[in-house]
Structure 1
Amino acid sequence: MSKKHRNKKITIKGLFKVNKTHYSIITEENTYSVEKDLFDFSDKFAQDGDEVKVLFIWARHPKAKLLSVTKRHNKYVVGYVKKINSSYFFVPLKTKFLIKLSGKVNEESLVKAQIIQLKNTEVAKVIQTYSNSSENDEAIIIAKYNLPTEFNSEVGCELQSINEPSKEDFVDRSDFRNLSTLTIDGADAKDFDDAIDIEFLNDGYRLYVHIADVSYYAKDNSAIEKSALDRGFSVYFPQSNIPMLPRKLSDDICSLVPGKDRLAFTVILDFDKKGNRKAFKFTKSIIRNKNRLTYDFVEDCLNGKVDCDENLKSYLHKMKILAKILSARRFLKGSLELDIKEPVFIIENNEVVNIVQRPKIFAYEIIEEFMLAANKAVADYLKNKKKLFLHRIHEKPQTTKLMNLVSQLKEMDYIFPKKTNAKKIQKFIQSIDATKRGIVSKLILRSLERAEYSLEDIGHFALGFENYTHFTSPIRRFPDLIIHKILSRTLLNMKEYPYKKLESIVKQVQKRELVTEAAEYFAKDIEQARFVGKYIGKTFNGTIVSMIGSGVFVELKEIFAEGFLPYSALKDDFYTFFEQKQMIIGRKTRKVYRLGDFIKVKPTKVDIYEGKIDLELEN
């Protein structure tokens, strides 16, 4: 850390975010992170999305103190009614804060409460009581994060005039219904944002990226557009979702469903044989999805594991060739890809029957590379036209965070590159043993900034792009929808949106993205805790993937979930935590546990709505 920041105290205002191991305060300029053990709530409490004022203390291990909550994201809070001695208190989820209850309560329960501000204190009034049944999971998430689920009557009136696209809607559109258009999505997807086509040219490749033309239906200042901005994003849970648009649009009229004529905004990209982009064009279009494919089917088809129409297999093989070329070129130029694992929930009869790690298959890369190429082309075109638009930015890491990372990795016998950039970090990650790559990736991720939306053009550090935006998912992301409108206006030489309008949109989507992310993580935590709860006392193989002052997080092998093993549960000795070395050492036995060690553990207890899985060592 730089000397000027050492032990410096600053007061910051921003959005509060709860993470698994730490809290973050996200301001317009920076993200400030503090380990949970080092955050002082000082007789107050804050939750995801709250606007807060915090005293932040720069140090090797930064500390923070909550000064005030200036604006609550939600006037209702979900938590537990708990009995302490002879009195009942309300304890918001993921906090230890006790709030006095107004009114009589005579049993412990999970509730939704309204926080009422009195002169010198806050009290909680119980509004609704929940059981621990999985049938209540979605309602609890919706209540905790104040997620809008209903559309108003004005939206309903506008929907009545929206029907299947017909000849009147096809005017001045390119007709691509003769192409072999396909979509590649998850097996349970209904909101198909994107479809693709490819042609081999004499000197390279022509890629068609067809994106649902949502802007045709969500007119400027319409009730549909306003409701989409209020939501900002669709919210995806393991077994369901809350759409940004009414389902008539998200799952049908806008969705590029198979066998139906659909309106699209198509990006046509020409590449040479080395993957250099030679030309691009944008056009409003009509398409028809000929093949609704899943990622698993595409992977199996390309690898000869399933019977697959030869023409389709050849078409997919062409896409694979181009995607490989684009991927290789992107990483050569300086993209970064951390080895961050994601859970996949296996659902049968509306019940989670297993949780596995998302497999690394090339079918995902085909879509990823093609969407990146389309997004980049749109961003480059708008920048060249000197237009004001929403950029997807990822700032360079803060020097203080990088210095802490370098010091920590050095103690773990890793030499992190100096004067770092994304390309050097990628090379460093690839040099690490595959069994430790995911763990080191998590440490690096903690040191990077959050990607976000901005009107500033400062580039995308992780992608290695000087200029980038989001265009390819307008059904589920409002920023993409507004980019469609900005691009349309630019192509038609129409007047730009005012700066204040776009600035207001940026602020709204930044807040909604935080809330959406938090709700989705909470939903996953609930499902993981509920599922692991069926295996209390069973022995699992595990890997220590994160260490903090009070214990270690262990990734289970047989079920893809993380549990927490507190140091207090290690009964054979008193252990001292050495953060920089990422290890603990027993005072008497000198026994050592390090990040990445393999251990055997047993779940002892789960708290479903805290998303907590408590572990103990086997024997």
Structure 2
Amino acid sequence: MNEKNTSEQPQYDVEIPSREAMLEVIKAALKPVAFSDILSHFKLRDEREHIGVKRRLRAMERDGQLVYTRNDSYGIPERMDLKKGTVIGHRDGFGFVQLDEGGQDLFLPFHQMQMVMHGDRVLVKAGSSDSRGRREGRIVRTIAEEPREIVGRYFVEQGVSLVVPDDTRLAQDLIIPPELVNGARHGQIVVAEIVSRPSRRSSPVARIKEVLGDHMAPGMEIEIAIREHNIPNQWPDALIAETKKIPAEVAENDKQGRVDLRKLPLLTIDGEDARDFDDAVYAEPEGKGFRLWVAIADVSHYVRVGSALDREGLNRGNSVYFPNHVVPMLPEALSNGLCSLNPQVDRLCMVAEMTIGERGKLNTFKFYPAVMNSHARLTYNKVAAILDGDAKLRQQYDHVVPHLETLHDLYKVLRKSREQRGAIDFDTVETRFIFNAQRKIEHIVPIHRNHAHMLIEECMIMANDAAARFVEKHNGGALFRVHDLPDEERLFAFRLVLGELGLTMPLRDEPHPADFGEVLAQVAERPDRELIQTMLLRSLQQAIYCHENRGHFGLALEAYAHFTSPIRRYPDLVLHREIKRILAKQFPEFAGLEGAHSYDENQLVELGPHCSQTERRADDATRQVDEWLKCEFMQDHVGDEFDGVISAVTNFGLFVRLNDYMIDGLVHISNLTSEYFHYDAERHLLIGESSGNVYRLGDKARVKVAAVNLDERKIDFELLSVEQTSNAIAPRRRQEKKTQRSKSGYKPKAAEKAGKKKSAGSKAAKAKKAKKAGPAGAKKRAPKNKKR
């Protein structure tokens, strides 16, 4: 999780100063410290001590803790105005350094990028700004070299073998010496391992490590994404050995000491193609409210801290769900077998039992280990049909119909409570790929959420809310799901877009989730609602995992933590272990509970960013595969015409999203009318200089598919016609822009900062204001689009 140096692992023959001790000496000095002065300070005279210190200092250099200067001395990077960051490459050869401390990225011109590659960790010195206002950076040292393996396409051109990286951010081709081709054939997809890094005078040299197969082979897009994003997909030998010991059924002695819920009619509701069932629900009326049971697979009973299963689960962080393919966090013997809440078999579970008032308020909650037996495996579509009155299905599942109706009644109460507290409710349409027997896409169909999806979602939110409260009540440590306030710049930009679309957003000193809900209500019947919802989502922060509870803005909750999917998310497993620790401490009957574990704060501080990163990695990989498949699908539609909506406006053209398939393509500015265009970045407009034609977000468009570039995952459209929305606003003169901020009713930046930085609830808000900490993090949804 942290940058670590493995070269220090062997034990030295003699005792040498620690990193901390040497850092303290170097920091105390007024100038960089020579190696000889370090030896003198610690009174080191033995040659073996000198060698050990030199090795440790070099390791500290590699980790960016020290800088070795030209006069053979060691200095502190921060005092030399050096910053740590990650290189972000660009297809055109230049790049940027994304600074660890945040702030504006530093621009790397072509000659700087010749010596590094996308993903490298570097020490950089900020310089002056270029003609375009970009502050340039000068790379002082490479701290960590990434990537070491690159996925790309193998070519032989004029007798020279090379690999062109699939990732366009890696702008340098890899030279492959003849003896390192490893049997690869022209045009194949390969994995290349770097042998020699690039320099100003030479390209990187690599060897072919693995031949993945022919270009366009079925499933190749997934193989590329897995390797390109470094998603672990091979089980270690130690894990395989552990997995072989896993029984097929729950042992009788493991059921002892647990609450017996086998007669409680718990049931699972999942998608048609789901194979891992990690949650079951049941509710019954109680007074004017309800009692709700949410039973979650007890993964922590089988996956113990420090085991091979645990180490690999932590390494993966979460399951990754591609179309028709899953890279699971845990082996199928657990995820689809012993831990999956399959119907009519006994399973171990952790239960959140809650009482909910008539207005949807969570009144009481308790957690305990149990043994259960699922009474039915249902799907979202079947449940929705049963609730809509399908006579055949109601007869088939007559033994659970009353339970489903009670759950539906509970859902309506919870839904109303959600609306009253102002939680944001997205109703975006996702797509599903329909493949034929040869794994070629036959069609792309939209997937709409029905009442069954939302019913389960509300039950999971209640359990996650209760779990976070439970841990806080007992001063426990876990990973909270944190969603911070929107970024002020992105929020201001979103307000400007709304103004252009004829929409309004409530004005407050500090935004509230209900403000976004009002926007969603305004666009519910608009044809461009999907686009507006997407822009709204982009104006929000990404949710992250964090050891601190700062509340969940989107759900308008003071505390929130993921409890409901330990099969596929490591943070849920961490939370289960902490809940068990609390139960074992609080209740004598649970004193011997298996799987309990306490994490200290330092461990949680590391776990949060790691789990957020693996979640982002999964999202990036699945997005890449989706883009590839959409391009493959559109190859068969070159020349066809479609209706769409302008989804983005840039200085180089328009992106149009097709209504039927939710696919975006580019209408390049050179393919518009033959005149000059001016780009208005604040208002997302392209304005023709001569004609005054305006192309803007949300306009309806008719396009023809002009070309598809599968290698670069690009689709080009030809614009046939544009119809402005009914709320279109005529373009203003440039001098009128100055009045935009006051017309929008939005505060100037400096004034806005004064009242900023609160979170969703009062307790969390105070904590956040006091600590003023926390990174911006991950995606709105979990790797598997199932439950929050």
TM-score scaled to structure 1, two decimals? 0.88
Does residue 1:114 correspond to 2:206, yes or no?
A: no
Q: 1:12 to 1:440 in 2, by over 3 A?
A: farther
Aligned 8 A contact 2:294 2:460 in 1 = yes
The answer for the alignment partner of 2:528 in structure 1 is: 436
Q: 1:338 to 1:145 in 2, by over 3 A?
A: same
1:565 to 667, 674, 686: 667
The answer for the alignment partner of 2:561 in structure 1 is: 469
Does residue 1:406 correspond to 2:495, yes or no?
A: yes
List runs of 5+ in structure 2 lacking aligned partners. 1-80, 586-595, 722-788
Question: For 1:154 and 1:374, how far apart are their aligned partners in 2?
Answer: 34
Does residue 1:422 correspond to 2:513, yes or no?
A: yes
- The 3-state SS of whatever aligns with 1:616 is strand
Aligned 8 A contact 2:646 2:701 in 1 = yes
Does residue 1:97 correspond to 2:159, yes or no?
A: no
Q: 1:422 to 1:534 in 2, by over 3 A?
A: same
> How much has 1:199 moved relative to structure 2?
1.1
The answer for the alignment partner of 2:63 in structure 1 is: none
- The 3-state SS of whatever aligns with 1:273 is coil
> How much has 1:409 moved relative to structure 2?
3.5
Q: 1:495 to 1:258 in 2, by over 3 A?
A: closer
Question: For 2:103 and 2:265, how far apart are their aligned partners in 1?
Answer: 45
The answer for the alignment partner of 1:394 in structure 2 is: 483
Question: For 2:703 and 2:123, how far apart are their aligned partners in 1?
Answer: 40
The answer for the alignment partner of 1:456 in structure 2 is: 548
- Larger strand proportion of the pair: 1
2:457 to 368, 372, 380: 368
Aligned 8 A contact 1:31 1:449 in 2 = no
Q: How does 1:309-328 map to 2 (within 5 A)?
A: 309=394, 310-328=398-416
The answer for the alignment partner of 2:368 in structure 1 is: 283
Question: For 2:490 and 2:623, how far apart are their aligned partners in 1?
Answer: 24
1:520 to 622, 628, 633: 622
Larger Rg: 2
> How much has 1:320 moved relative to structure 2?
1.4
Q: 1:184 to 1:600 in 2, by over 3 A?
A: same
Once the two structures are superposed, what CA deviation does each residue of 1:105-154 show, in whole Å capped at 9, x if it has no partner?
99566443333325556504252454222242222122211221121221
Question: For 2:449 and 2:349, how far apart are their aligned partners in 1?
Answer: 30
Question: For 1:331 and 1:56, how far apart are their aligned partners in 2?
Answer: 50
The answer for the alignment partner of 2:538 in structure 1 is: 446
Q: Which amino acid aligns with 1:375?
A: N
Q: 1:423 to 1:285 in 2, by over 3 A?
A: same
Aligned 8 A contact 2:482 2:551 in 1 = yes
Question: For 1:358 and 1:25, how far apart are their aligned partners in 2?
Answer: 39
Once the two structures are superposed, what CA deviation does each residue of 1:343-399 show, in whole Å capped at 9, x if it has no partner?
222344344322122213111111110111000001001111112211110111222
2:380 to 282, 295, 300: 295
Question: For 1:16 and 1:282, how far apart are their aligned partners in 2?
Answer: 45
- The 3-state SS of whatever aligns with 1:147 is coil
> How much has 1:216 moved relative to structure 2?
0.5
Aligned 8 A contact 1:78 1:143 in 2 = yes
The answer for the alignment partner of 1:265 in structure 2 is: 350
Question: For 2:572 and 2:302, how far apart are their aligned partners in 1?
Answer: 14
> How much has 1:46 moved relative to structure 2?
6.0
Identity %: 29
Question: For 2:642 and 2:82, how far apart are their aligned partners in 1?
Answer: 44
Question: For 2:330 and 2:369, how far apart are their aligned partners in 1?
Answer: 21
Aligned 8 A contact 1:10 1:56 in 2 = no
Question: For 1:30 and 1:180, how far apart are their aligned partners in 2?
Answer: 51
2:113 to 40, 43, 49: 43
Aligned 8 A contact 1:12 1:56 in 2 = no
Q: 1:563 to 1:598 in 2, by over 3 A?
A: same
Q: How does 1:588-607 map to 2 (within 5 A)?
A: 588-607=690-709
Question: For 1:605 and 1:271, how far apart are their aligned partners in 2?
Answer: 56
- The 3-state SS of whatever aligns with 1:405 is helix
Q: Which amino acid aligns with 2:148?
A: K
> How much has 1:479 moved relative to structure 2?
0.6
- The 3-state SS of whatever aligns with 2:520 is helix
Q: Which amino acid aligns with 1:155?
A: L
Question: For 2:552 and 2:83, how far apart are their aligned partners in 1?
Answer: 28
Q: Which amino acid aligns with 1:125?
A: A
Question: For 1:528 and 1:394, how far apart are their aligned partners in 2?
Answer: 31
Q: 1:519 to 1:57 in 2, by over 3 A?
A: farther
Question: For 1:552 and 1:158, how far apart are their aligned partners in 2?
Answer: 54
- The 3-state SS of whatever aligns with 2:629 is helix
More deviation, 337-346/49-58: 49-58
Once the two structures are superposed, what CA deviation does each residue of 1:74-107 show, in whole Å capped at 9, x if it has no partner?
4212234579999776543233723352425995
Q: How does 1:12-51 map to 2 (within 5 A)?
A: 13=85, 43=113
Q: Greater relative contact order: 1 or 2 (C-alpha under 8 angstroms, separation 6 or more)?
A: 1
2:254 to 160, 165, 169: 169
1:131 to 214, 222, 227: 214
Q: Which amino acid aligns with 1:312?
A: V
Once the two structures are superposed, what CA deviation does each residue of 1:210-243 show, in whole Å capped at 9, x if it has no partner?
1010000001111100010011010100111000
Once the two structures are superposed, what CA deviation does each residue of 1:539-570 show, in whole Å capped at 9, x if it has no partner?
11111112222222221123232222222222
Q: Which amino acid aligns with 2:197?
A: Q
2:610 to 487, 495, 508: 508
More deviation, 99-108/321-330: 99-108
The answer for the alignment partner of 1:4 in structure 2 is: none
Does residue 1:345 correspond to 2:433, yes or no?
A: yes
Question: For 2:533 and 2:431, how far apart are their aligned partners in 1?
Answer: 16
Q: 1:230 to 1:180 in 2, by over 3 A?
A: same
1:185 to 257, 263, 270: 270
- The 3-state SS of whatever aligns with 1:383 is helix
Does residue 1:210 correspond to 2:289, yes or no?
A: no
Aligned 8 A contact 1:10 1:57 in 2 = no
- The 3-state SS of whatever aligns with 1:395 is coil
Q: Which amino acid aligns with 1:258?
A: P
Does residue 1:160 correspond to 2:232, yes or no?
A: no
More deviation, 178-187/401-410: 401-410
- The 3-state SS of whatever aligns with 1:307 is helix
Cα RMSD of the aligned pairs, angstroms, is 3.4
Q: 1:10 to 1:518 in 2, by over 3 A?
A: farther
